[in-house]
Structures are given as C-alpha cells and as structure tokens.
Amino acid sequence: MKLPLILTAILASMTLPPAEVSLADSTIRAGYRASNVIGEEVRNKQGKDLGTIEDLALDRNGSVAYAVLSFGGFLGMGDKYFAVPWNALMWTDDRKLVIDVTEDRLHTMPGFDKDEWPDLTDREWALRVHEFYAVPYPSVWDPMQTRAIDALNRHAHFSARQGYLVGGAGQTGNSMRYDGSMIWEGPSYAVVDVNPQDDTGMVMGIVRSHGHTYTVVMASFEGHADFMDGGIATNLLLHGTTEQGGPIIPKVNAYVAGWGTATVFRDDDVLYKQFPAHFMLTEGVRDESTHKIHFVAPERLKVLMEVTENGSLSKEVAEPVKDNIKQSRRYVNPHTMQLHIVAHSKARNEKNLPPFDQFIHFMFDDVSLERTQGSQPNAPQAAKQ
C-alpha cells in the first residue's frame, strides 16, 4: 500500500530544486513547489521523453527521497510505477528533469504495481534501486548532518583525526591489509578543502609513527574517467563491482572524492614526488577497533584482477569471487565515515596488492564535517561544464 511518506499536501509547501540552474552553478536561485514538479515530464540524456512524475516520497528527515514515475504505454510499461532516487535526477539549464538511463536499459528498471507499493524504507529494496541508477543509498543521519553532507556538493571542507598508515610507508607488498595487520598509528590530522564545482582545492594528511612524520599534500585534481567529473566528484558509488575504481574494497557510497597527484614527505624529505593520488570520504569500510575489512582473500582477489587485465579467466572461476565482493557490501557501516588518502607510483608490480611498486595509504576514522546552515537536502546537482 502507499506509505504515509507520500504526502503531496505537505510536499506542496516544500522548497525544491531551482527553476533555473546553469551548468556551472547549482545553487538555488528560485523555488519550485511539489505541485510544480508533480506532472513534469522526464527524459534521458539522449533527449528521449520517458515518463511523468506522479508523486514524490519523503525520507524520515523530511527530504525528498524518490520521484515516482509512470511511463504511460512506453515499451509496455504503463501498468507499473518506478521509484527513481531523487539524487539520480538532474536539472538542465532549460528546466528539464533528466535521468541517466538509456532506452535499452528501460525494460530492466526496477518497478512495482501501481496498486501494490513496496516498502520504500526497506534497505534491501532501496539498495537494489540505488545500484541500478548508480547513485549512493543515503545513510541515516540527523538533519544537521544531512545538511552538512549535502553542502559537500558546493564546498567540501572538513577535518579528520584518528589516522594511521595502512601497510606502513608504502613498500610492503600488501598495502590493503584486510586482516588489520601492519597499521602504523600515531598523532594525526587531515584537512580537506576542495571545490567540486571547479575541481580546485587542497588535501593534506599527517601521521606521526615509527619515529617519523609522514605528510601527504594533494593540490592538483584531474579526472581521467567520466565518473571522476573532471577531478572532484560527489555523491557516487566506488569500488566493489561498480567498475568505478578497482575491486579492492567493498562497494561504498562516496560523499566526495578527488583524483590527481600528490607529494608524500617523510619528515622534511620528499618520499614520493607527484604520484598519482586520490582521496575519498566514504561510509565506514575498515573496523575502527581491529582495522580489519571483511573482504575477499588477497590471493583470490589478485587472480581476479590479473585476469581482468587479459580476459583469460573462466566464468566459473571469476563469478564466485565477484559474488564474494558483492556480499562484502553488507559489512560496510553506513552510519560512520572514513577518509582515505592514497598515493602510488606509476610503475606497476603485479606481485603487490594493489599492483603498484609503491602504494601509501592514509586513513582517518574520526571525520568532522563543517556544519553548514541552510543547505538544501537532496537537491539534484547540475553537471559541470
């Protein structure tokens, strides 16, 4: 049955995404009421008109969680509704709503009977829907925390403590250490201050351990894949089976992430200069007490990664490993955050995990977001130019 979350009367008074949003500026310039959005047509990125918004669903914080679409007689889908995550919708500069789904994939969209609504708060159902649209399933935060997360789309400024180096100083062969071994802890601090709109800013992490102070500084951002959004991206899924980042950790929601180059120092000396690097603010992946990650055994994972390169692995061998990677998602903690800062050499070494000659991995368990007042929860963000 329909949930009480579907409250059109309440939604009618809510301020929703802007009537005019340029591709370079996603700040709110004018308000839309729910009555303006319900009945709006939705199209895909190829310009194909797909369907109409019939209703909107709220989450427990009062933010819009889903747009409920109908597709009329399109491809025989007229007897169903489709709950599209609100963060999968985008506003164009001509005030049109767009979802990133091709016509070929429409028939595989998860839908439901118009008279038998699913429990939209069911986590397993929601994870399947969000995975289809390749957008994160939002964690349950208090309203203030939700605003701070949403504000990362415009200006990601936060700090972190309780840091350590995973696998030491970067030449240990296995730099993932899923078993929680070789974790170099010590006094630590990190700060991230980046602008996702123009791919600028700075990331710095410091850990004092084993008689040395290790510092990583990242100030240049450039994306070489679409999901990197030019260098700094927000609100995306990474790793696991997403094919957005290697399959070296479970699939995680990344609230903000950036790719580019970094320099790593040991005390006053340059340890690694202008290495390829990235940072991610994600859900909790590594246990804060044991430092373990519940994941695939390194030996099996390395086999999968090697054959991904040359395509020689049989399906019978690959599928069980991929299934284990998918199952590891259930051990990710959506109620905590961790900051990862990684730098590695260009030179590869297939005996290592990940397969680079040097790989240094800073992690921070205690993340403090900037508490930004007045941000608009779950407003669809305009694409960069």
Evaluate whether 275 touches 263 at the Cβ level (below 8 Å): yes
pLDDT at position 77: 62
Tokens of 368: 């403090």
CA–CA separation, 95 vs 382, rounded Å? 11
Burial of 166 (0-12, 13-18, 19+ CB in 10 A): buried
Whether 342 and 359 have beta carbons less than 8 Å apart is answered as yes
Q: Are 112 and 81 in contact (CB under 8 A)?
A: yes
Give me the pLDDT at residue 385, please.
44
Residues 6 or more apart from 337 whose CB is under 8 A from it? 255, 281, 282, 283, 284, 367, 369
Q: Return the sign of the alpha-carbon dihedral for residues 226, 231, 232, 237.
A: positive
The per-residue pLDDT for range 332-363, each reduced to its tens digit, is 988 899 999 999 999 999 889 999 999 999 99
Q: Are 204 and 217 in contact (CB under 8 A)?
A: yes
Q: What is the pLDDT of residue 61?
A: 67
What are the start-end ranges of the E strands in 101-241? 112-113, 156-166, 183-185, 188-195, 200-209, 212-221, 232-238
What are the residue ranges in the chain where pLDDT is below 50?
1-30, 372-383, 385
Residues 284 and 336: beta-carbon distance below 8 Å: yes
Identity at 261, one-letter amino acid code = T
CB 276 within 8 A of CB 241: no
Phi, psi torsion values for 42, nearest 5 degrees:
-120, 140
CA distance linking residue 98 with residue 107, whole number of Å: 17
Strands (E) in 297-378, as ranges, are 333-344, 359-369
| CA-based torsion, 285, 289, 293, 298: positive or negative | positive
Beta strands 183-185 and 200-209, pairing class: unpaired
